A and B are shown apart, each in its own frame.
Chain A
Amino acid sequence: MTPPLLSLSGIAKRYGATRALDGVDLALHPGRIHAVLGENGAGKSSLIKCMAGVVQPDAGTMTLDGTPVRFADPAAANAAGIVCVFQELSLIPDLSVADNILAADPPRRFGLIDRREQRHRAEELLARAGAEDIHPLALVRDLPLSRRQLVEIAKALGRRPRLLILDEATSALTARDVASVFRVLKDLRRQGLALVFISHRMGEIAELADDCSVFRNGRNVATFPAGTRSDGEVVEMMIGRDYSHAYPAKPPPVPEATPPALAVRDLGWGDRLHGLSFAVRPGEVVGLGGLDGQGQRELLLALFGVLRGTSGEVRVDGRPVALASPADAKAARNGIALIPEDRKTEGLMLPMSVRENLSFASLGRVSRGGVIDRGAERRAVDEMVQLLAIKAADLDVPVASLSGGNQQKVVLAKWLMTRPRIVLLADPTRGIDVGTKAEIYRLLRRLADEGAAVLLYSTDYAELIGCCDRVLVLYGGRIVRELAGDAITERALVASALNMNGAEAA
């Protein structure tokens, strides 16, 4: 084999208390496609960011063509021929496709952009990306997500990469687009590029990859030539993790006959949610599983009255309800709470004080005629601070000054103060420390024990296994599998999330 183009040794990266990468070794060879697999949070995206210069590793060395390198920013990595197609698109919506593809380095004549030449090159690059049908003059704003992804690939190609990193570049694509992207990637491999390909789709990896690396807990647990391990073995490698989190014991299942607190029938929304039907009974913790972006988020938003134009029926305590806004959902007659996904932009008003954030959703309970009873507010807030053991020097400091874990507790507490009967959670433990995670698990169980119906979306399989009485696995906006009790295993979750059983629900 040729010497590696880029090799990593002992790369480590920490974010606060979280160890994202822990002594990673990896060698990437020209003319080969290297697939990287791993669960959410296994360290794949940190790995990419280090290679692409978005973040700098804390330890370890990267060697390019045999010389050690260090990239201060994406531009430096770019200059060295390392180009990344990020999941978060870097396209500018109001510019045309051609403008975007050659954004910072268009062909010029007499100092001015040569539009004809730019268009020519854009067409070429689009063709290389297998997207000849995208018109170079179309506005990116007007393209559907899958087409934008192809533009993003074309843009990356325009930077003349030697190492091209694709981070789940196919996750938003239709089967037809995937096929054309694959042709492109194989072409690039023939031309001698090194490619790193990250995907959750086993079938794609089997078709494309020359080498595979499996990541787990920030480590590269195994690197092997593609096709030398079975799917089952690969899944085994991905999940072989330590269950160090303390999950509270699960009570016996809630009887089937218990009337559900939340019953959903045939819920649909645009092309993102299709015919979802399920029920959550008081005392139950029901999980939402599956790969990221399969409609879990939209489902929670729909149940909280955020989405317009949903179809189907939602019943709360047996009553059909029309949820037109979060205010409706929160109202005492419905008692729904949503712990949103992004605590910094959706859960909290960061510059406002801890106290103001805590009481904000339940001001109605501590006020009369719109006037806040400060005594009542203080009592209610203090009670929650104690209950959740929120660590803040002072409740009047901005909530932004708390640690991530404590911020998340504030979001939870804020909603517990409304005394909800149905609790929706969107990935509540993302990016927080182990100790706080365990506290949150105990809290969820306690809520359920006190009679709340809990619907928990998590990207962490272990969490779904440890916390949930039942798990609904979503794929493409549909429920493809329901797992209950002992059937909730990592293997089952991973398999159904990848939709490997061919369980494509109609």
Chain B
Amino acid sequence: MSDWRFHLRDAKGTLSAAAVFVLLFALYTLNHPAGFSANVVQTAANKGVLLAFVAVGQTFVVLTAGIDLSVGAIFILANCLASVLVTGTPAHVALGLAAVLAAGLACGLANGALVVYGRLQPIVATIASGAIYFGLALWLRPEPGGDVDSTLADALTGQLAGGLPASVLVLAAVLLLVWVPFRRSLLGRAVYAVGSAEASAYLSGLPIRRARLLAYALAGLFSALGGLMLAFFTYSGEASATNASTYTLDSIAAIVIGGVSLFGGAGSAVGAVFGALIFRTINDLLFVFDLDPLWQPLFLGLVLLGAVSLGSLRLLRLKNRLELFGS
């Protein structure tokens, strides 16, 4: 049995994203004045991991053929919340951590409820709920500031033995704890099925409502994890509107680059992680090539447009033009 063929196909998007990332990152470190050093890697990892968390969150929702435009706001809310709660005695810190993650989960669940029970369109529902979450963040932190437990922060953002960035390890551990079981659960299967063919999923008896709720809840949880990490990097919280919307939009770009289909049903969180890392590395590349930083946004935009337009090649194979319209 040539199973590898199928496993390869399943992982194609993820693997190509990984390959592109390795290539870009090699290019980056080779040209970096400091070379391939632990510090360079750590800095890059810390930037990438933040977006990676949010992108993984977005992945869950997009797999159901939905979209969550509030991930950036939840990210910021968690950041501000952490700057208030994750400090003090170890017990306080632990409680604070739990509270931040619970808040993210609750925000996500609320989104899910709006979509599943409120029957609102994900795009408008999450725009509006995002405003609320951002408002709460602003209420917590009208001015940037606060504090987080620096021992914990340093441990999670520093280097481990061998120069391995701890933040990457945190990301990997969370993925292992959440993504792997998700992928092997019935609800996880239902998430994919809902995005692929909702009617068939219903006919097959899959729990499609719970699947949707779970997807939005996990999106909230992962965005909050990202916000928590941000607090650990900056030792503070900031209700930055710019960051909120940038992270929301970059998360969409990252998952598309990472091979997640915006039509739902296909893609993986690991791909999304690499998508996020690629997106961040492109930024850094421009820097090491001494390209005027002014070129950066244009270059990013063109890369994004090019990447998403590649999918249009499938149109060439279309024989029945009615299929263009998907009905």
Tell me, yes or no, whether A and B come into direct contact in the complex with CB atoms closer than 8 A: yes
B196 on the interface (CB 8 Å rule)? Answer: yes
Q: Are B185 and A113 neighbours in the complex by a CB distance under 8 Å?
A: yes
Instruction: Give Cα A94 to B204, complex, Å.
Output: 14
Would you call the interface of chain B mostly helix, strand, loop, or mixed? helix
Contact B184 A112 (CB under 8 A): yes
Chain B hits for A502, CB < 8 A? none
Q: A93 near B6 (CB under 8 angstroms)?
A: no
A301 in the interface (beta carbon within 8 A): yes
Q: Does B319 contact A307, Cβ atoms closer than 8 Å?
A: yes
Chain B contacts for A301, CB-based, 8 A = 320, 322
Kindly state whether residue A416 has any CB partner on chain B within 8 Å: no
With a cutoff of 8 Å between Cβ atoms, the chain A residues found around residue B320 in the complex are: 301, 306-308
Q: Which one, A74, A93, A269, A308, contacts B203 given CB within 8 A?
A: A74
Q: Which residues of B contact A112 (CB under 8 A)?
A: 181, 184-185
Please tell me if the beta carbons of A113 and B200 are within 8 angstroms of each other in the complex: no
Closest B residue to A113 using CB positions: B184
Give the segment of B84-92, B168-176, B187-195 that binds chain A.
B187-195
Q: Which residues of A contact B181 (CB under 8 A)?
A: 112
Give A89 to B196 CA distance when docked, in angstroms.
14
Decide if A139 is an interface residue (CB 8 Å cutoff): yes
Segment of A5-13, A55-63, A99-107 in the binding face: A99-107
Given the complex of chains A and B, what is the CA–CA distance between A139 and B266 in angstroms?
Answer: 11
Per-position 1/0 for A78-117, Cβ under 8 A of B:
1000000010011111111001100111101001110100
A-B contact count (CB 8 A): 86
B1 at the interface (CB under 8 A from A): yes
Complex alpha-carbon distance, A104 and B195, angstroms: 16
A100 to B192, CA, bound (A): 11
Contacts of B192 on A, CB cut-off 8 Å?
A: 92, 94-95
CB distance from A122 to the nearest CB of B (A): 13
Q: Are B321 and A306 in contact (CB under 8 A)?
A: yes
Q: Flag whether B26 is at the interface (Cβ < 8 A).
A: no
If A90-B200, A93-B196, A135-B6 touch, does A104 touch B321 (CB 8 Å cutoff)? no
CB-CB nearest in chain B for A114: B184
User: Pick the contact of B319 from A108, A113, A309, A325 — CB < 8 Å?
Assistant: A309
A128–B123 alpha-carbon span in the complex (Å):
45
A91–B204 Cα gap in the complex (Å)? 8
In the bound complex, do residue A90 and residue B184 qualify as a contact, i.e. CB atoms below 8 Å apart? no
Pick from B1, B193, B195, B201: contact of A135, CB below 8 A. B1
Contacts of A89 in B (CB 8 A): 200
Q: Is A75 among interface residues, defined by CB-CB distance under 8 A? A: yes
Q: Does B197 contact A (CB under 8 A)?
A: yes
Taking the closest CB of chain B, its distance from the CB of A159, in whole angstroms, is 9
Question: Which residue of the partner chain A has the closest CB to B193?
Answer: A92
Q: How near does chain A come to B66, taking the closest CB pair, in angstroms? A: 15
Verify if B306 is at the interface (C-beta below 8 Å from A).
no
Please state if B189 and A113 are interface contacts (CB–CB under 8 Å).
yes
**Which residue of chain A lies nearest to B7 when distances are taken between CB atoms in the complex?**
A137
Task: For B318, list chain A residues within 8 Å (CB).
Answer: 308
| Cβ contacts A to B, 15 pairs, < 8 Å | A74-B203, A90-B200, A92-B193, A93-B265, A103-B206, A104-B204, A104-B205, A106-B186, A106-B189, A113-B184, A301-B320, A306-B320, A308-B318, A308-B319, A346-B322
Q: For the complex of A and B, list the 3 residue pairs with the smallest distance between their C-beta atoms, beginning with the closest.
A: A137-B6, A94-B196, A94-B265
A residues whose Cβ falls under 8 Å from a Cβ of B? 74-75, 78, 86, 89-96, 99-100, 103-106, 108, 111-113, 115, 135, 137-139, 269-270, 301, 306-309, 325, 345-346
Given contacts A92-B193, A108-B186, A308-B318, 6 further A-B contacts (CB under 8 A): A74-B203, A106-B186, A112-B181, A112-B185, A135-B1, A270-B319
